[in-house]
Amino acid sequence: MKITLGELATKLGLTLKGEAGTMITGLNTLKEAQVGEISFLANPSYQSQLAESQASAVIVAEDQAELVTSSALISANPYLSFAQASQLFNNRPAFSAGIHETAVIADTAVIADGVSVGANAVIGEHCQIASGTEIGASTVVSDHCVIGESCQLNPNVTLYHNVVLGDRVTIHSGAVIGADGFGFAPDQGKWHKICQLGGVRIGNDVEIGANTTVDRGALDDTVIEDDVIIDNLVQIAHNVRVGKGSAIAGCAGIAGSTTVGQYCTVAGGAGLAGHLNITDGVHIGPMALISKSITEKGAYGSGTAQMPMKEWRRSATRFRQLDSMAKRLQQLEKIQKGEV
């Protein structure tokens, strides 16, 4: 894509300080940008790179515009403007409607006009796929699935039966939606499988990362509400509900029947135990283990801070001594009160 700086400023709704006729061909970081590319400054830690950047223009906040040696695109939210610019320069191959000759599609499936079905894709019985949706190569859509408009299922995605996707849902390769939840009843040393009779319902404008799994419900559905973003390698167990606008980072795991409220963030590697309720507006820190429900919004974490290994080993020894230390302290308090 080629666009003048003036046209770009208009499309992004930004104020331009510089040469409107400059031709822009792409985006890059401040450090790596070359002439013809734009960059952005959203993190003050990178401000020192402005002086030496070769970018033809930089998206910045108004109070940093004077620091830009080339043209400046002034934004109230530079990171958001960068995201919008990236969509203009998206280099993903263009969408092309049509059904590949090697695709296997059940006779009862209803596929709207303007759908793309890739090579070796499989679409099961009684599925419904709305216009503008792309089914990638070797993707499997099992029986009784409903897929909304303008969805993007990349190659090698698997939807089990009874999965419902809203509009503009993006699912990346290797993701599995609707596999059985981890439900088993123990009896005399044996595990008896609990058939998972629910499904999965995913709202509008949801993005699910590569190799992420969303299990089907045991009885009720597992639900991902509108505008949720889920990173790669995330596990969402059966009957979980994730509220509108929440974000879950890589390698996080949410155990069964837990509800995550609206506009929450779960950082990488965090784990949420089952049957919890997390209220709206909660941030869970990286590697945190959440074992109790959270009723007040705010930031929560667990575990110990980073420290040199020698110090950590000493601290670990102290952790093991805490119970006996607490008991001795209670005994001393009783002695002090004359109770012993």
Task: Give the model confidence (pLDDT) of 198-210 as tens digits.
Answer: 999 999 999 999 9
Distance between CA 321 and CA 319 in Å, rounded?
5
| The pair of three-digit structure tokens given for residue 61, joined into one six-digit string | 């906040």
Is residue 340 scored above 80 in pLDDT?
Answer: no
**Sheet of strand 128-129, all strands in order from the earlier edge strand to the far edge:** 110-111, 128-129, 146-147, 163-165, 200-202, 222-224, 241-242, 259-260, 277-278
What is the predicted pLDDT for the residue at 303? Answer: 84
- Give the helix ranges, DSSP H, for 89-135: none
* Strand ranges in 108-199 using DSSP code E only, listed in sequence order: 110-111, 116-117, 122-123, 128-129, 134-135, 140-141, 146-147, 152-153, 158-159, 163-165, 170-171, 176-179, 184-187, 190-193
For a pLDDT cut of 90, what percent of the chain falls above it? 92
Q: pLDDT digit string (tens) for 251-278?
A: 999 999 999 999 999 999 999 999 999 9
- Give the helix ranges, DSSP H, for the chain: 5-12, 78-88, 309-336
Distance between CA 223 and CA 199 in Å, rounded?
9
Q: pLDDT digit string (tens) for 45-68?
A: 999 999 999 999 999 999 999 999
Distance between CA 81 and CA 79 in Å, rounded?
5
The pTM of the full predicted model, rounded to 2 decimals, is 0.90
**Chain CA centroid to CA 165, Å:** 16
Assign 305 a pLDDT band (cuts: 50, 70, 90): confident
Is residue 149 scored above 80 in pLDDT?
Answer: yes
What is the predicted pLDDT for the residue at 338? Answer: 81
Q: Per DSSP, what are the bridge partners of residue 164?
A: 146, 201
Is residue 334 scored above 90 in pLDDT?
Answer: no
Is residue 306 scored above 90 in pLDDT?
Answer: no
What is the predicted pLDDT for the residue at 255? Answer: 98
**Cβ-contact 185, 167 below 8 angstroms:** no
Other Cβ atoms closer than 10 A to 183: 19
What is the predicted pLDDT for the residue at 339? Answer: 78
How far CA 279 is from CA of 183, 228, 276, in Å, comes to 26, 16, 10
What is the predicted pLDDT for the residue at 336? Answer: 87
How far CA 316 is from CA of 235, 283, 293, 320, 329, in Å, comes to 29, 27, 27, 7, 20
What is the predicted pLDDT for the residue at 337? Answer: 84
What is the predicted pLDDT for the residue at 20? Answer: 96
> Residue 76: left (phi > 0), alpha (psi -120 to 50), or beta?
alpha
Distance between CA 83 and CA 40 in Å, rounded?
10
- Using a 10 angstrom Cβ sphere, with 0-12 exposed, 13-18 middle and 19 or more buried, the burial of residue 211 is middle
Q: Per DSSP, what are the bridge partners of residue 23?
A: 4
Write out 150-166 in H/E/C secondary structure. Answer: CCEECCCCEECCCEEEC
Catalytic residue among 144, 238, 275, 283: 238
Q: pLDDT digit string (tens) for 29-46?
A: 999 999 999 999 999 999
238 carries an active-site annotation? yes
How far CA 135 is from CA of 94, 132, 141, 154, in Å, comes to 14, 10, 9, 7
Supply the mean pLDDT for the chain: 96
> Residue 338: left (phi > 0), alpha (psi -120 to 50), or beta?
left
